Amino acid sequence: QVTLRESGPALVKPTQTLTLTCTFSGFSLSTGGMCVSWVRQPPGKALEWLALINWDDDKYYSASLKTRLTISKDTSKNQVVLTMTNMDPVDTATYYCARTLGYRYGYMGLDSWGQGTLVTVSS
């Protein structure tokens, strides 16, 4: 059974750096084809893909947010970490991590998701 869980602060101040951790089980991020993505969703709005890391440690970022994002993995801990710098109130959203299959090798979608964590940016 694949599970993912996001953790991190519920509230951050403007200009601060957000660090979110995705802890997963049921698969290994060292297996070929396996990836983990981060996706966010402002209240009442659409999904926005943010970043992806694959089994080979290749990293991909949203073009519009690339300068603010860093994704990394700790395969031994089954964790993926996302940092987003210079947070702003418009970054208030639910942040999800999701297992992603086959990116650039026969894409099969984001097939398992965490429950999401709401991050509010406010002073």
Partner 1 sequence: DIQMTQSPSSVSASVGDRVTITCRASQGIRSWLAWYQQKPGKAPNLLIYASSSLQSGVPSRFSGSGSGTDFTLTISSLQPEDFATYFCQEANSLTFGGGTKVEIK
* Residue ranges binding partner 1 (CB under 8 A): 37, 39, 46-49, 52, 60, 62-64, 96, 98, 103, 106-111, 113-116
CA 25 to chain centre: 15
Q: At closest approach, how far in Å is the CB of 44 from partner 1?
A: 10
> Which residue is listed with tokens 């987003």?
84
Residue (75 or 107) nearer to partner 1, CB = 107
Q: How many CA atoms lie within 13 A of 5 on its CB side?
A: 6
Q: At closest approach, how far in Å is the CB of 111 from partner 1?
A: 5
> Phi/psi class of residue 50: alpha, beta or left (left: φ > 0; alpha: ψ in -120 to 50)?
alpha
Q: At closest approach, how far in Å is the CB of 113 from partner 1?
A: 4
